[in-house]
Structure 1
């Protein structure tokens, strides 16, 4: 009887300790300060996805910076990206982010390709997005500077673990792969960023 009682009393502890806590993955509910708070320059640090097309993109991105600026409508942002895709530097300035206030969702529109995301609550100098692709989650971390604190990185890794990501689904960028800014002298082996024109 006593072993059974001990087993039953220990069971709730075992059940609650088993899955990692997802308490840190809390979407932001948009208010008047949300969008102004994400405007400006960001450096893409790490991304993870279980959605095969996004997984392929993540493998190709070696470094990326992007800036968000007000669009022609209050529910729209302009996006300018400078990224190294494998060995090629690309500048893209023809994509938009649409803001859906009613459900606190962002939609990135790049030509014919759209993707949805929720902004996750975190430090004001971090931009954590939970990407929505059917039942295949994605998570990305961008920051105002290339140096993210160990604590913030550990918190992000805990979120990845919570969503069931494995190491082969997580891709970090490297500052050494940064593209020269347009007009900047390209270093040896670097190519001047190519401007991707709208179709």
Structure 2
């Protein structure tokens, strides 16, 4: 089953030459200063891919949120994920990310599929990951809340266009498709219980 982290760490984009005038992506080192900044709750906002199997996955994911927190090991992070895939909400709380400080990469293994990513310099409330798998490159945007400014979205879209992506290749999630957290009822459940 597709997971949020697969979206973040495993959806590669085809490697494209940067057109003149596009700012290069600046990768951050993964160290004791940057790792605490990726901990906490995130909502997957958008991403793009030229890799056909992952494009289908991105179309299916309507909403995704995840929390990253320390594990008992220095270079391992635990992840809890909740997502809506088509019409079904899925929750997973057993995902792990390996942190490789020597080359500043994050690695996620899900069902024997290995995905790697680098952290891109950005605002503290945005998580931009550059995905690197084989000869493919990817980019995804997550944020602390779904309320990302129009300027931030436009900046990210401009970077995707610099990498050669068209509007049709950029996929967004929607807050209206959010899944309720465990023990929380969604609006439809509340309406049904009011009718009883």
Per the normalisation by structure 1, the TM-score is 0.82
In structure 2, what is the equivalent of residue 26 of structure 1? 26
Structure 1 residue matching 2:164: 3-state secondary structure:
coil
In structure 2, what is the equivalent of residue 43 of structure 1? 43
Taking only aligned residues, the RMSD between alpha carbons, in angstroms, comes to: 1.8
In structure 2, what is the equivalent of residue 112 of structure 1? 112
The answer (yes or no) to whether the contact 2:41–2:144 under 8 Å persists in 1 is: yes
**CA deviation string 1:119-151 (max 9, x = no partner):** 110001000001112222211000001111122
In structure 1, what is the equivalent of residue 163 of structure 2? 163
In structure 2, what is the equivalent of residue 8 of structure 1? none
Return the alpha-carbon distance in structure 2 between the equivalents of residues 34 and 53 of structure 1: 32
The answer (yes or no) to whether the contact 1:68–1:78 under 8 Å persists in 2 is: yes
**CA deviation string 1:38-97 (max 9, x = no partner):** 100001100111222222211111001100010121100001000000000000112111
Pair 40,71 (structure 1): closer, same or farther in 2 beyond 3 Å: same
In structure 1, what is the equivalent of residue 55 of structure 2? 55
1:119-138 alignment to 2 at 5 Å?
Answer: 119-138=119-138
In structure 2, what is the equivalent of residue 144 of structure 1? 144
Pair 20,66 (structure 1): closer, same or farther in 2 beyond 3 Å: farther
The answer (yes or no) to whether the contact 2:30–2:99 under 8 Å persists in 1 is: no
Larger Rg: 1
Structure 2 residue matching 1:37: 3-state secondary structure:
helix
Structure 1 residue matching 2:136: 3-state secondary structure:
coil
Return the alpha-carbon distance in structure 2 between the equivalents of residues 59 and 20 of structure 1: 30
Per the normalisation by structure 2, the TM-score is 0.83
Structure 2 residue matching 1:103: 3-state secondary structure:
coil
Following superposition, the deviation at residue 152 of structure 1 comes to 1.1
Return the alpha-carbon distance in structure 1 between the equivalents of residues 106 and 149 of structure 2: 26
Following superposition, the deviation at residue 21 of structure 1 comes to 3.1
Q: Could you tell which deviates more after superposition, 172-181 or 145-154?
A: 145-154
Following superposition, the deviation at residue 20 of structure 1 comes to 4.5
Greater RCO (Cα-Cα under 8 Å, separation 6 or more)? 2
Structure 2, unpaired ranges of 5+: 1-17, 191-196
The answer (yes or no) to whether the contact 1:51–1:138 under 8 Å persists in 2 is: no
**CA deviation string 1:135-173 (max 9, x = no partner):** 222110000011111221111011101111112221000
